[in-house]
Structure 1
Amino acid sequence: MLKFYGSHICSGCREALELFREKGFTDFTFVEITENTNNLREFLKLRDTRPELQEAKREGRIGIPCFLLENGEMLLEAEAVLALPAS
């Protein structure tokens, strides 16, 4: 199952959640990174080590929404997630 790292206080994450709802996409787990320190640590480990998030880090952005697929691939756009072939 896809992991969606984000926060309800982030407008981009809220838009992605709404898009998923509109399209009926439910095959994901939402990890609210501001809910607790374990979730934040989990995301920060990705942000600090994954090349896909280095631009966001350099620019002082958080790097969410962020989508981690089961195979380890990372996507940063909700539309890209919806374009994946159904599993």
Structure 2
Amino acid sequence: MIKIYGMPSCPDCQVIAPDIGSDVHVMKEFLRLRDTSPVFDEAKKNGSIGIPCFVLEDGTVTLDPKDAGLHL
């Protein structure tokens, strides 16, 4: 199973349903991931949140929908 973090207010997440803002536990989980994974370094440097974010079945974290098999 692929875990997806996103928000409806994010223009890059418009076609992705999960909303990290709807549950404080999911938000905390995402923030822990964002604070510890180097995948988010460029997003943070650019002032971005880093969503949509995909955690693949093997635990790989990516910000590219294509890596998760989505072609948006």
What's the TM-score bracket when you normalise by the shorter of the two chains? 0.7 to 0.9
Which amino acid in structure 2 is aligned with residue 64 of structure 1?
A: I
Query: Quick one: distance in 2 between partners of 1:47 and 1:31?
Result: 16
Correspondence 1:71 to 2:58: yes
- The amino acid that maps onto 1:81 is A
Structure 2 counterpart of 1:75, one-letter code: T
Partner of 2:29: 42
Partner of 2:8, secondary structure, is coil
**Conserved? CA contact 1:31–1:39, under 8 Å:** no
Distance 2:21 2:4 in 1: 13
Aligned length: 70
Q: Secondary structure at the match of 2:54?
A: strand
**Structure 2 counterpart of 1:5:** 5
Unaligned runs of 5+ in 2: none
Q: CA offsets, 1:25-77, max 9 Å, x none?
A: xxxxx642111221111100010000101111122110000000121101211
Contact 1:3-1:31 within 8 A present in 2 as well: no
Instruction: Point out where structure 1 has 5 or more consecutive residues left out of the alignment.
Output: 18-29
- Of 6, 20, 45, 1:33 maps to 20
Root-mean-square deviation over aligned CA pairs:
1.6
TM-score, with normalisation over the residues of structure 1?
A: 0.71
Per the alignment, residue 27 of structure 1 pairs with none
